[in-house]
Structure 1
Amino acid sequence: MDQSYILTQARLSLAYDIEASKPEHEILILKNVPLKTYLVVEEEQWRILRRFKDGMPLQELLPLLITERKSPPLRSLYELVMKAVVAGILLVDGENQAAQQQNRAVEWDHRLRFGMAHWFGVGAILFGFLAVLFRPLGTPTNLIEILVGWLLICGSLTVGYFLSACLLVGFDREVYDTRFRWKHVLPHFHCNVEDGRMAGRMCEMSVALMQLAPMFFTTGITALWFTDLVYLLLMGVFFVTLPSGRSPASLLLRSLYRRYPLSTGHDFIFVQNRLLWTLINSRLKFTDKSYLLIFGAYTLIWLFTVFMANLSAFGLNVGELKNLYLTSSAATVTVIIVLLQMAATILGSLAMISWIVAMNILHVVEQLRMRMQSKPKLLNHEMSGEDIVQFLSGTLLLKGVREEILYELAERVRGVIVDPKQHVFKEGEPGDDLYFVLNGGVEVLMSLKSGRPLRVTELGPGDVFGEVALLHNVPRTRSIRAARKSLLLALSREDFQKLIVGSIGVRDVEAIIRKQSFLHRIELCRNWHPQAMTAFSRLATLAEFQPGDVVIKKGMRNQFFYLIYDGLLEVIVEGKRVSTLATGEFFGEISLLQNSTATADIVAITGSRCLVVQRRDFLNFIGKDFLVGLQFEDISSKRLKHPIFPLTGVAYDDFSERY
């Protein structure tokens, strides 16, 4: 199942035959009736799913949710959509992606009334408990009694499931997968009563009581009149009250004390939710701690009861068991087993740590090897035509350019060696050449009013600079200085215009060099997909600001996302500078994601340039790439020191009509 396609491009629509249970503590259960699949959601999540009634891609819905201040955390939203698709609640391009379930509803002509069944269940359990409590625990004396006891247990289990199915139909619910379990240690009739949760907790509780009642009632009868069978029947009671799996007792406990676990809070499908730290956080957040405590206490009581029942049945006491244990070889065996387990745990942990360290060392070695291989092979600073063509074809600017043009460029370029701190050119000088960084690195500098140069960024192998003067016939707008000894390839203005601009086009050359190459260098975009960088560069325009310009004013209706291309800006709150923003940093995303007004002034300190994206385009952009959306959500939440989604309160302004 292509998650990227489903979350970004697919047209999602609500399936037709969906049933919703009554909300309980703002949680309800959705059921795809034909498929017999379920989804536990919050009321707000159900309202989001209903937005797909007429069909739309998620990338169209997300900007609307943000505009209306109703967006949930994005991880939760993506998990909800994926779980809804798997459960058949949402269709993908009109097709159901849910796996065909094995659950089959059966025609069940028998039904029980709730009141009578409920009180019968409670009464039978009390009767069996009291009868066993005040009567001696007899044990079978021959094989006939063992066989009779085994048959009574199998029959009680069969009657319990049969009555629970009748009660389920009495609640107007469906019975699934009726069959006889022949291969079970206790063969019995069995049915799936999962549909009971659609009728609420009272139905689940009554169904569980009805499954327990026959076993307790039969045990009570044997305690009164057939004492030799009591111990065997009591084993049947312990089986139906087992504190694990899908036992009737576990179902009863869940119906009494457990909150319905949200489908978006466990067994994650969305790939980003499967990261270790996310799994740990979700476990801590969504675990029903009160139910866990109750279930733990029940487990201890169950174990203690089983232990005491066995002591009573065989006439033993704790002191006798202790002496028997110590005088036998069992104590020695136990110590050996414990020591072996401890040794295995320690050795296993050391092996795991060693493996992790070894894999990290191998990764570092591999990275170093790749870096060494990626360096151009220089011999007296000369390269063959094939080497130059290979280098040029790997640059961002010339990817996809025809091979004959690359070979002609390889003949026209010339090598330029610059020493550390040596200027390639200075701001204000006329420009005649375009430069490729072949090896080493250069610094981009801008001149402040004081005359002091300000380092804007650094360019490395594969980067291109010097295009502004050639494209717009203006002096150099920035100074370029070697950060270390470097080898550059220079291309004349005439060859640049003829071979590159003529092949690619002015607009694309400018977008690639000034935008995409910049995006490749900054931390924000380091993990973006190339298509995301291309899309962002096409959406962004380059805006210039003079020293003292107010880019954003507190309380204004911000309509843009800003990414600093070069220059310095300051963040002012209540007249005080609280931080300084430089190249690669960004601002404005919080007010866009919150649909609120700006909370601080942003003022240019130096002449600055920013890549600016309109609000509509920015929201569409993060909707088209869920990884980028998660990144901005995480960054904004860290800046706010609390999760940005879900939004609370009322928006300062409302852009919904203008969106």
Structure 2
Amino acid sequence: MDPHLTLSAFSFSLAPALQRSELINGLRVVKNQSTKTYLRVTTAQWHILEMFAAPCSVPAVLSRALDTRTCLPLGEFYELILKAVRANILLKKDTGVTPAPVYGWRLGVRPALVIRPLAVLLVTGVVLSFAFQHHLPASLSDTFAGLVIVSAALSFGSVLTACIVRGGGGEVFPIPWHWWRLPPYFAVDSSDAIMLPTVGQQAAAMATPAILATAAGILVWQRPEWSFIPLVALALSLRPIFGGKFAGIIRFNPSDLLSDAETGFIFPLNHRPSKRWQSFIRAIRHADTWARLAYGVVWTLAIICVGGRFTDTPPWTVAFWEANGVRVAVAIGASLAALALGYLTWEFYLFAREHVRNRRSVFRLWHRRWFGGNQLVLHAADRAKAVNDSAVFRGLPSPDRQQLALEMQVTRHRVWRALHEYGPVPSKLSLIVSGRIGLYRKTPSGSLQRVQVLAEGDLVGLHDRADPNHPEYFARTLTPVTLFTIERAAADRIIQQHIPVGTLTNTALKLPFLRRISLCQNWHFQAVERFATLSAILDVRAGNVIFHESQFTQNFSVIFESEAEVSQRGRHLATIHSGDFFGEIGLLQNSSATAQVSAKRDFRCLSINRLEFLRFVTHNYSVALELERVSSTRLGRAIFPLNKGNFRST
């Protein structure tokens, strides 16, 4: 499953054979009856899935959720979609599924009738297991007898679990005999217990441990030499980790359970260290986490006690704890500390790896610009590759690109050098191979103000054509630079025939600007190109209001040149500069503006209207997540989900 295609290109619809459980502790389980797959969802998540009643794409559903103000936090939204597709709750058009075979299981028992007897059997068996002396198997026949009893107990426990599931209204699915296991036993797939109410789930989880506990307790009492293997099986069935189901019964705060979209992430951007850290903090704040941790400690102590009985070293005696108490406490504490240290070490490794990669790339680029540019050996193949990779030249026919590459020459310039040949009337056109060049514009006072920075892959000397309304640019190197250079007149003969001014504006003016601002740092290059194409450059006179507070937001804007003032109820909040943006909160919340933005001086911005903005955001999940993060930071709270009072209606 390709997450990018799933979340942007494919259309899905709800599977035809879905079954929903009742709402239990804020969650309901959705089941595809044909494939025997399940998904635990909240009510809000189910409302999102219901939008796929008719076939539609994920961006269309996200746009509808934004419009109706029912959008989930975006990381949760994308996780929900991927989990629903994996569980076959959402199906692609014309996709068939293979039905899972179902047992014609006729026996059933109501969970409410057996849960108390099962609890009594479990407690009684555990008490008996501790009340009498244990013995290791004295012979091979004792070992075989223990295996036979465990096989019978597991088989009977599976049958009882199936009866509980069937009696609660669930289905039972066949599994062949586990001959390859030791011991072999009859088993059925009772995973449909997840569809039952809480009592049914608890009874199903308790059935097999209760039968094993009863068998182990009776054997410890009557035939202790047969009890070793049943006790091991009981300990494994009650294990607190590695898939132990019994620990799931322990719930102190059942109303705060997590759905499948909030755990076990498969959406790639949910694997970021910050997201995992949030999940960790949420877990340690939950009472069930500490309850299950305490259960794990009790289980460990129980294993120690049973082990002491087998070795004739009773752990409940004062002598045992005087001799070994410190060791036991240290062992348990060290185990917990090792788990915590292992988790923190792994998280630190992932965090450090991500940041070291970024820092290493930045350092390599910095070193190449300042110290490696003069050492670059550039051949004809390098010129051809640079021209083919250029966003501007990509629209030229192949013979014209080859001609440009042949006519280009390598030129180098030192740092802080004014490039007069690329000034208001450029005489040359260059493709930057290494280094950074600043573009400046004269202010009314006569000083130069930097308005843009160009870097590797960008063109310098073409801005007068890309920005015909404001062609007066001056260029200056910010680092040592290496360029592929051609005479402007020669380049114009090729470019003017094939590249219209609008395309030049998008690729030579807007695209380099967008690639350098913080908003677009985590966007795919194709998303940046698309935004450059969709946005329009607007000129605003000093003092004009771009949009008023409490009015419905119609545009998303990024400041291209100069600066603007943000105010609320007449009070100055901030001054925003080139690269900053505004309008996203009102558009994402489908609400009116929370502040007023006005031009402090003559001002230029890249603006995109509401419909194009929402279409663009919903088709690019990295863009949507970045805007959600920034909006939440500006609001001081999570922008999604919307609650009453989070937005203003018009």
TM-score (structure 1 length as normaliser): 0.81
**Distance of aligned partners of 1:251 and 1:165 in 2 relative to their CA distance in 1, 3 Å threshold:** farther
Q: Is the 8 A contact 1:106 1:178 kept in 2?
A: no
Shift of 1:501: 1.6
Q: Is the 8 A contact 2:32 2:38 kept in 1?
A: yes
| Alpha-carbon distance in structure 2 between the residues aligned to 1:125 and 1:156 | 13
Aligned to 2:36: 36
Moved more, 563-572 or 8-17: 563-572
* Structure ID, larger Rg: 1
Q: Kindly provide the CA deviation profile for residues 344-393 of structure 1, in whole angstroms up to 9, marking residues without a partner as x.
A: x9xx99xx89x9799899867865786589847899xxx99887666544
Q: Is the 8 A contact 1:137 1:228 kept in 2?
A: no
Q: Is the 8 A contact 1:120 1:213 kept in 2?
A: no
**Distance of aligned partners of 1:205 and 1:87 in 2 relative to their CA distance in 1, 3 Å threshold:** same
Aligned to 2:62: 62
Structure 2 gaps, min length 5: none
Aligned to 1:171: 168
| Alpha-carbon distance in structure 2 between the residues aligned to 1:262 and 1:472 | 51
Q: Is the 8 A contact 2:14 2:53 kept in 1?
A: yes
Q: Is the 8 A contact 1:202 1:255 kept in 2?
A: no
Q: Which amino acid aligns with 2:511?
A: Q
TM-score (structure 2 length as normaliser): 0.82
Aligned to 1:444: 439
Aligned to 1:73: 73
Q: Kindly provide the CA deviation profile for residues 312-359 of structure 1, in whole angstroms up to 9, marking residues without a partner as x.
A: 576544566689999xxx99xx9xx99xx9xxx9xx99xx89x97998
Is 1:279 aligned to 2:276, yes or no? yes
| Alpha-carbon distance in structure 2 between the residues aligned to 1:146 and 1:403 | 79
| Alpha-carbon distance in structure 1 between the residues aligned to 2:450 and 2:137 | 94
Shift of 1:50: 0.9
Is 1:542 aligned to 2:507, yes or no? no
Q: Kindly provide the CA deviation profile for residues 208-240 of structure 1, in whole angstroms up to 9, marking residues without a partner as x.
A: 343344344445655776677677765554454
Q: Kindly provide the CA deviation profile for residues 419-461 of structure 1, in whole angstroms up to 9, marking residues without a partner as x.
A: 846462899x6x4646436576543333333344322223345
Shift of 1:31: 0.8
Moved more, 103-112 or 384-393: 384-393
Aligned to 1:5: 5
* Match among 244, 265, 268 for residue 265 of structure 2: 268
**Distance of aligned partners of 1:127 and 1:60 in 2 relative to their CA distance in 1, 3 Å threshold:** closer
Q: Is the 8 A contact 1:545 1:608 kept in 2?
A: yes
Q: How many residues align?
A: 629
Shift of 1:285: 2.3
**Distance of aligned partners of 1:272 and 1:470 in 2 relative to their CA distance in 1, 3 Å threshold:** closer
CA RMSD of aligned residues (A): 4.4
| Alpha-carbon distance in structure 1 between the residues aligned to 2:542 and 2:486 | 33
Moved more, 450-459 or 140-149: 140-149
Shift of 1:597: 1.7
| Alpha-carbon distance in structure 1 between the residues aligned to 2:429 and 2:365 | 27
Instruction: Report % sequence identity.
Output: 23
SS at match of 2:292: helix
Q: Is the 8 A contact 1:204 1:251 kept in 2?
A: no
| Alpha-carbon distance in structure 1 between the residues aligned to 2:115 and 2:470 | 90
Q: Kindly provide the CA deviation profile for residues 600-620 of structure 1, in whole angstroms up to 9, marking residues without a partner as x.
A: 222212222111100110111
**Distance of aligned partners of 1:422 and 1:177 in 2 relative to their CA distance in 1, 3 Å threshold:** same
Moved more, 625-634 or 475-484: 475-484
| Alpha-carbon distance in structure 1 between the residues aligned to 2:219 and 2:379 | 97
Aligned to 1:199: 196
Aligned to 2:517: 522
Q: Kindly provide the CA deviation profile for residues 35-58 of structure 1, in whole angstroms up to 9, marking residues without a partner as x.
A: 111111111101100101101111
Shift of 1:512: 1.9
SS at match of 1:396: coil
Aligned to 2:27: 27
Aligned to 2:133: 137
Aligned to 2:575: 580
* Match among 618, 624, 631 for residue 629 of structure 1: 624
**Distance of aligned partners of 1:245 and 1:189 in 2 relative to their CA distance in 1, 3 Å threshold:** farther
Shift of 1:541: 0.9
**Distance of aligned partners of 1:591 and 1:416 in 2 relative to their CA distance in 1, 3 Å threshold:** same
| Alpha-carbon distance in structure 2 between the residues aligned to 1:92 and 1:28 | 23
Q: Which amino acid aligns with 2:292?
A: F
Is 1:110 aligned to 2:113, yes or no? no
**1:419-458 matched pairs, under 5 angstroms:** 420=416, 422=418, 424=420, 431=425, 433=427, 435-436=429-430, 438=432, 441-458=436-453
* Match among 543, 550, 556 for residue 551 of structure 2: 556
Aligned to 1:45: 45
| Alpha-carbon distance in structure 1 between the residues aligned to 2:357 and 2:438 | 35
Structure 1 gaps, min length 5: none
**Distance of aligned partners of 1:591 and 1:181 in 2 relative to their CA distance in 1, 3 Å threshold:** same
Aligned to 2:16: 16
Q: Is the 8 A contact 1:563 1:610 kept in 2?
A: yes
Q: Is the 8 A contact 1:208 1:252 kept in 2?
A: yes
